[in-house]
């Protein structure tokens, strides 16, 4: 069947009751308990296998322990871990207990963690020993945080307790909460253009909403012998809902391997060694892979599908995928609030280089004008998703104003501009706000600017995205210094390190320019678009 027939015939089947933890673990543990669910590749490249039965037993133990600590339905559980078994176990336990999980990026600095933990009012945080210095720095600023559970460390006091010890002393029998599909399940923070990051609150149904968007770019996943991996961190919606949970929902094993920094050679070795068949690869990672010569001669890989999203790959990268990987790379599109809503699928669609694809089955995606009217083909407007979609977020956590502004009539606004051609393919043309797309991350300038202003030398700061061949964009900061400070390379590096340590490595300004003034509106608002326009002019002239 071709795309049009499948799109028209698709119907959602969202049950009244649904629990992500049960669907991804317990159901499979009953049917085929010994089947491998997770292949964890540790720092020494040893493979440690976890069956669905193992995951059910361990997540039940953790759920009982969390319940004993007083956690109840809709309480927030912070998970500050990378790609490792304890991350998955924590999520499964939280879902089964009816908690709202709050995934947090392990490379976040103390400022970034403090805001998200306070905003979500997280009661218990699960993390590892690497994070304790940061947590100790901010613990007294977190009035709602009652306990920190620490992985792989022998520790016990009123605030810190060992992950392993609480599992050892807990029962592995647990009856999961009978959650509604509409019950809240997870808060994933997304950077905004103004003010602090927004917490996108999703219901348990969000997993079901993702399924067509995983099946399509992976050419009707799952198929025999499929095995999934992504270098994307499990703190982001891409790592969790583009790969981890959908794969386990279908009973397909997932490979977990922590990569603090993406290494293309190590990634290819991992794909070869574990015989990974399906990969979600951010565009920046694919561009780094292109630097490796003669991949098909050096590595015995058997990839069936590679999907990518975040920015256009272009014809060269698509051609490289065919030549070096032996597959057609399927591009897709989505965002934290409504993910995997547009996609390519080489099995049933022509691939048009530069296009994000066509609306995924079940999702109504259109191009609208400022009044919310659907525009005809080839006219530029805002990409919008119709309300009532199961993949769509419930609201921004504790931010009704932000939630209201995200919608226009019956449409959820993406903030992305584009057009739809006569064949229904959607073409991205740019943001209508100041979000920076860098290396697969969507970065809001406001949080970085706030952090820069905390540096003793900074009087004013503005942050934009500067075009970059590898990352799509890099973060560039314009700095007005306080009186008594002089611009220098040493000061620039100090400011950059300040942001990297306080926020995260992907958010620090890779380029920094000192200036005497910033362009402002008459109301005193920094004109980031003017800075970006001038930056693009410089690039064009050079």
Average pLDDT over residues 262-282: 94
Question: Above 60 in pLDDT, residue 121?
Answer: yes
Domains of the chain are 18-204 (3.40.50.12780), 436-541 (3.30.300.30)
Helix 110-120 / helix 445-452 crossing angle, nearest 10 deg: 120
pLDDT at residue 364 in the model: 98
Cβ atoms of 156 and 162 within 8 Å: the answer is yes
User: For residue range 167-196, what is the model confidence (pLDDT) as tens digits?
Assistant: 999 999 999 999 999 999 999 998 765 568
Per-residue pLDDT tens over the stretch 217-258: 999 999 999 999 999 999 999 999 999 999 999 999 999 998
The pLDDT-based confidence of 297 (bands split at 50, 70, 90) is: confident
Q: What is the C-alpha to C-alpha distance for residues 534 and 21, in angstroms, rounded to an integer?
A: 49
Q: Which two three-digit tokens encode residue 104?
A: 């947090």
Enter the tokens of residue 77.
């559980």
Between 104 and 282, name the one with better pLDDT. 104
Inter-residue contact 452 to 477 (CB < 8 Å): yes
Among the ranges given (27-36, 207-216, 531-540), the one the predictor scored with the smallest mean pLDDT = 531-540
Characterize the bridge pairing of strands 381-386 and 411-420. Answer: antiparallel
**pLDDT at res. 538:** 84
d(CA 85, CA 106) in angstroms, rounded, equals 15
User: Most distant CA pair in the chain: distance in Å?
Assistant: 70
DSSP assignment letter at 25: I
pLDDT for 525? 63
Examine the pLDDT at 506 and tell me if it is beyond 80: yes
163: tokens are 């992950």
| C-alpha distance from residue 477 to each of 105, 433, 446, 529 (Å) | 23, 17, 11, 13
Question: Is the N-terminal amide bond of 331 cis, ω within 30° of 0?
Answer: no
What mean pLDDT comes out for the span 386-413?
A: 97
pLDDT score for 441: 81
pLDDT in tens, 311-338: 777 788 888 999 899 999 999 999 999 9
pLDDT at 460: 86
Instruction: Say how far residue 308 (Cα) sits from the centre of its chain.
Output: 13
Match 């979600």 to its residue by tokens. Answer: 280
Q: How far is CA 515 from CA 2, 390, 444, 487, 518, in A?
A: 56, 47, 21, 9, 7
171's tokens: 């029962």
Of 169, 120, 129, 168, give the one whose Cα is nearest residue 149: 129
Q: Is the dihedral of CA 290, 350, 392, 244 positive or negative?
A: negative
Mean pLDDT of the 384-403 span: 97
What does the mean pLDDT of the chain come to?
93
Which tens digits make up the pLDDT trace of 441-484? Answer: 878 787 898 789 889 999 888 899 998 888 889 999 999 998 89
pLDDT tens per residue across span 340-392: 999 999 999 999 988 999 999 999 999 999 999 999 999 989 999 999 999 99
**pTM for the predicted model, two decimal places:** 0.87
259 vs 332, which has greater pLDDT? 332
Instruction: Tell me whether residue 514 is exposed, middle or buried, using C-beta atoms within 10 angstroms of its C-beta: 0 to 12, 13 to 18, 19 or more.
Output: middle
Position 453 scores a pLDDT of: 86
- Distance, in Å, from the CA atom of 258 to the CA atom of 231, rounded to the nearest integer, reads 8
Instruction: Answer whether residue 155 shows pLDDT above 60.
Output: yes
Q: Higher-confidence residue: 420 or 439?
A: 420
Let me know the angle formed at the C-alpha of 462 by 429 and 333, rounded to the nearest 5 degrees.
25
pLDDT at 206 (0 to 100): 98
Residue 109 has pLDDT above 70, yes or no: yes
1 confidence band (pLDDT: 50, 70, 90): low
The H helix count followed by the E strand count for the chain is: 19, 27
Position 523 pLDDT exceeds 60: no
Distance CA 199, CA 448 (A): 17
Question: If you search the block for the tokens 């491998």, which residue do you land on?
Answer: 36
| pLDDT attached to residue 193 | 55
122 contacts 99 by C-beta, under 8 angstroms: no
3-class secondary structure, 80: strand
Higher-scoring residue by pLDDT: 533, 147: 147
pLDDT of residue 539: 83
Position 315 scores a pLDDT of 81
Task: Work out the pLDDT band at 71, boundaries 50, 70, 90.
Answer: very high
Q: Strand pairing of 124-128 and 100-103?
A: unpaired
């Amino acid at each position: 069947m071709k795309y049009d027939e499948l799109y028209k015939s698709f119907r959602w089947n969202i049950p009244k009751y649904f629990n992500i933890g049960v669907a991804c673990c317990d159901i499979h543990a009953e049917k085929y308990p010994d089947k491998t669910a997770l292949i964890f590749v540790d720092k020494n490249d040893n493979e440690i296998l976890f069956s669905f039965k193992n995951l059910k037993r361990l997540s039940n133990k953790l759920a009982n322990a969390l319940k004993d600590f007083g956690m109840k339905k809709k309480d927030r559980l912070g998970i500050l871990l990378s790609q490792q078994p304890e991350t998955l176990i924590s999520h499964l336990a939280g879902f089964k207990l009816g908690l709202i999980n709050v995934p947090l990026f392990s490379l976040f600095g103390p400022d970034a963690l403090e805001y998200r933990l306070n905003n979500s009012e997280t009661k218990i945080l699960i993390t590892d020993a690497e994070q304790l210095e940061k947590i100790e720095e901010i613990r007294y600023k977190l009035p709602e945080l009652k306990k920190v559970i620490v992985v792989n460390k022998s520790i016990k006091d009123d605030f810190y307790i060992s992950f392993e010890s609480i599992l050892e002393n807990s029962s592995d029998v647990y009856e999961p909460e009978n959650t509604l599909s509409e019950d809240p399940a997870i808060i994933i923070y997304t950077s905004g253009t103004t003010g602090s990051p927004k917490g996108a609150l999703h219901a348990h149904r969000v997993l079901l909403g993702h399924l067509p968007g995983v099946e399509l770019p992976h050419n009707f996943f799952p198929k025999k012998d499929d095995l999934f991996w992504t270098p994307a961190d499990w703190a982001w919606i891409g790592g969790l809902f583009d790969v981890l949970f959908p794969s386990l929902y279908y009973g397909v094993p997932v490979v977990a391997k922590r990569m603090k920094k993406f290494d293309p050679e190590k990634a290819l070795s991992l794909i070869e060694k574990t015989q990974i068949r399906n990969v979600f690869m951010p565009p920046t990672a694919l561009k780094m892979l292109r630097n490796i010569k003669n991949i098909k001669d050096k590595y015995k890989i058997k990839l069936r599908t590679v999907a990518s999203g975040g920015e256009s790959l272009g014809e060269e990268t698509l051609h490289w995928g065919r030549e070096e990987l032996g597959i057609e790379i399927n591009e897709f599109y989505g965002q934290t609030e409504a993910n995997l809503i547009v996609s390519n699928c080489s099995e049933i669609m022509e691939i048009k280089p530069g296009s994000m694809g066509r609306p995924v089955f079940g999702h109504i995606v259109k191009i609208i004008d400022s009044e919310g009217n659907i525009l005809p083909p080839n006219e530029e407007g805002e990409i919008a998703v119709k309300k009532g979609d199961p993949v769509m977020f419930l609201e921004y956590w504790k931010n009704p104003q932000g939630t209201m502004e995200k919608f226009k009539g019956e449409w959820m606004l993406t903030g992305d501009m584009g057009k739809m051609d006569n064949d229904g393919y959607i073409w991205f043309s740019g943001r209508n706000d100041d979000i920076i797309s860098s290396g697969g991350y969507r970065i809001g300038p406001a949080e970085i600017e706030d952090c820069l202003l905390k540096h003793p030398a900074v009087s004013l700061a503005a942050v934009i995205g500067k075009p970059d061949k590898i990352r799509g964009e890099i973060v560039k900061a314009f700095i007005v210094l306080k009186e008594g400070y002089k611009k220098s390379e040493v000061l620039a590096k100090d400011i950059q390190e300040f942001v990297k340590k306080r926020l995260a490595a992907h958010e620090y300004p890779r380029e920094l320019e000192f200036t005497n003034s910033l362009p402002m509106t008459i109301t005193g608002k920094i004109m980031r678009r003017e800075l970006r326009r001038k930056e693009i002019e410089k690039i064009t002239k050079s």
